[in-house]
A and B are shown apart, each in its own frame.
Chain A
Amino acid sequence: MPYKIMIVDDEPANLRALERVFSLDYEVITAGSGAEALDILKQQDIAVLITDQRMPAMTGIDLLKRSVSLRPRMVRIILTGYSDIEALVEAINSGQVYKYVTKPWSNEDLKLLVRRALEHYENSKQHYELELANQRLSQRLREIQQLATLD
């Protein structure tokens, strides 16, 4: 099952160009606005989200911030025409953005970046699953210990 990658941009030509870059290797879902992207995120488990920063209504950073509660382990990448330093620094420092890429991008660099992002995604997912397993086991252990003391 290929990973799902979502691309968000208000420029349709950009969406198509990026879709072409990734459609061979991944399942690509596109959205033309932040709102549309959030709707999709509610229904689908996305591994990597690549969004344009400058969009009317919701900016890329806003979208990334709001996506954290929906998909905490999704890897977030922002694509910017301008390096809106102030906004970016804050987003990056608060851990909401994995990487930022400036336009015009290079396909090869972007592909590599997404591969890395997916490794990161895989790691954090495994980490999360291990944590869950750990919790379950600890719970079980406590139950067994309780049973043992009852005997």
Chain B
Amino acid sequence: MDESKEGRILPSHDAALEDLPILVVDDEKVVRQTFVECLGEHYDCVGAADSEEALTHLASRQFALAILDVQMPGLSGIELLRKITKDFPETAVIMVSGVGRAQRVVDALRLGAFEYLIKPCDLDVLELAVERALERRALLRTSKSYKVDLERRNKKLERQKAELERLQAQLVHSEKMASLGQLASGVAHELNNPAGFILSNMETLRNYTTALEQLLKFYDTVSLTPDHSIRAAAIKEDIRYEKLMHDLSLLIADCQEGASRLCDIVKNLRTFSRLDEAEFKKVHIHEGIDSTIRLLSRYYSSDHLSLERQYGELPPIDCFAGQLNQVWMNLLVNAAQAIGDREGRVKIETQLQGETVVVSISDTGDGIATENLNRIFDPFFTTKPVGEGTGLGLFTTYSIVKRHGGTISAESHSGKGTIFTVVLPLNVKRETVTTEGKR
């Protein structure tokens, strides 16, 4: 569709169109000539003795109107009408016939004839019919171009609507992420202090209890008076001493585990809200991915999980190397966990695409359920069992990629695995990275 014409609503009554000739088809020379002469006063008129001649004319130039005799040797007027409405829809048709059979009139009109005249016809009637046919043709053309134009505008509006909806969704998403970022940094700040002293105190508590246990064990070896011995045994039974001593260390271990998990959450939230910023420099992505894989040998050195690396030629890129490594870490852990204990394959593919680096990490795991796919980057969303995932991994990943001016997307088919694609610009200005997402 020619965009420059977009603004035009109506095709004006084109002078050129109005001047199109009229074709008179009749095997009777007298009738033909009378018609041509009569109409020739106002219109450019061409005559044809039969359908074949008419078709030759029609093929060579455009006609506004064709006046057809119904009964002609060779191809009949009705058949010619059929051909014209099919092949030359721009040309209006008036049928002329000597015999006024009602059915034939109806047929002709149904086939698309504008008027039906009965011979011998008054020339005034003919002129009127021609005038009306041309008017009707013009109206039809106008309404048709209206329709085309409206359809085009509708399509354009639909496109714009879709684009607006996409932008709105994007806005809502980034707005959501921004407010979550604020929340996250607030939470991180508030959690940090208590997390710090809980973790520290749990260690101290373990030392204290070990010390007390030592003392108690010594007391157990001391021989007591029979009276004291009985009382000690009673107390021990009362407080379920053995169980308590056994449980004490478990209890502390659980608390320590909880505290360190709390610290992990805080750490992730801090990364998200950019509280920690290591050095911004040019690094080779492959080195980061490889060292991450080495760190993940727990997953990636097992026999059932094969790892395929398809590295393209990449120049070093500007980034916070530590943070990007966290991206690879999160994606690679997820990929390995998606496969679990079964046979499977994780594939890392990198390539240079214009001014960007594209890294895709795919697995042959279970895939992500469609209803979850648009929530995976939300904070605290996890499908992993309690204790295994904080629900912050992909959230953090998303925010890091975003901070580098990149994009991350996931595609998944249930039962067929998942592919994460990270696109990072080759050259990110440090300023952009630091100011973007600043609270």
Contacts and interface: CB of A to CB of B under 8 A. Distances in A.
Interface in B266-318: 266, 270, 275-277
A17 B196 contact: yes
A85 B277 contact: yes
B197 A14 contact: yes
B196 A104 contact: yes
B203 interface: yes
A44 interface: no
Contacts of B276: 83, 102
Contacts of B200: 17-18, 20-21, 104-105, 107
Nearest to A13: B197
Nearest to A12: B197
A105 to B, nearest CB: 6
Interface in B188-246: 189, 192-197, 199-201, 203-204
B193 A14 contact: yes
Contact of B192 (A16, A17, A103, A106): A103
Interface in A88-129: 102-108
Contacts of B275: 82-83
B363 to A, nearest CB: 33
B197 A17 contact: yes
B274 to A, nearest CB: 10
Interface residues of B, number: 19
Contacts of A16: 197
A18 B263 CA distance: 17
Contacts, number: 54
A11 B201 contact: no
Contact of A103 (B193, B203, B277): B193
Interface string B247-280: 0000000000001000100100010000111000
Contacts of A13: 193-194, 197
Contacts of A20: 200-201, 204
Contacts of B192: 81-82, 103-104
B189 A81 contact: yes
A31 B276 CA distance: 28
Given A17-B200, A20-B204, A107-B203, A82 B193 contact: no
Interface string B165-207: 0000000000000000000000001001111110111011000
Contacts of B199: 104-106
A21 B197 CA distance: 11
Contacts of A17: 196-197, 200-201, 204
Interface string A45-63: 0000000000000000000
A104 B263 contact: yes
Contacts of B270: 82
A102 B193 CA distance: 10
26 contacts: A11-B197, A13-B197, A17-B196, A17-B197, A17-B200, A17-B204, A18-B200, A20-B200, A20-B201, A20-B204, A21-B200, A81-B189, A81-B196, A82-B275, A83-B276, A83-B277, A102-B276, A103-B192, A103-B195, A104-B192, A104-B200, A104-B263, A105-B199, A107-B200, A107-B203, A108-B203
